[in-house]
Amino acid sequence: MNRIFKITALLEGVSLLVLFSNMLFIKPTNLELYKTLLFPVGMAHGLLFIAYIIFATMFKIEDNWPWKKYGIVCVASVLPFGTFYVEKKIL
């Protein structure tokens, strides 16, 4: 299950960066492409975010993580490149 959480953390981080790049780089240049990509990328990121938080909660309960570690893992999910840090250093 640790491997699945690492993969989810990696995919969640990538989806956040894709969502940001869609907003920052594609929207000013091609509004139609932006509108086309917004829903599928946003939905994928939302589902991966929920899965990431569920896995973090499961690990907190099963492995008896301290609240500080759990808080760092959860806050990292909303920071760009945060899940990559968690995947390499904490997991």
Measure the CA–CA gap between 67 and 15, rounded to whole angstroms: 26
Alpha-carbon torsion, ordered 33, 38, 40, 45, to 10 deg: 140
pLDDT range class, residue 89, cuts 50, 70, 90: confident
Maximum distance among all Cα pairs of the chain, rounded to whole angstroms: 48
Residues 6+ apart with CB under 8 A from 91: 2, 5, 6, 9
Q: pLDDT tens digits, residue range 2-54? A: 899 999 999 999 999 999 999 999 999 999 999 999 999 999 999 999 999 99
pTM: 0.90
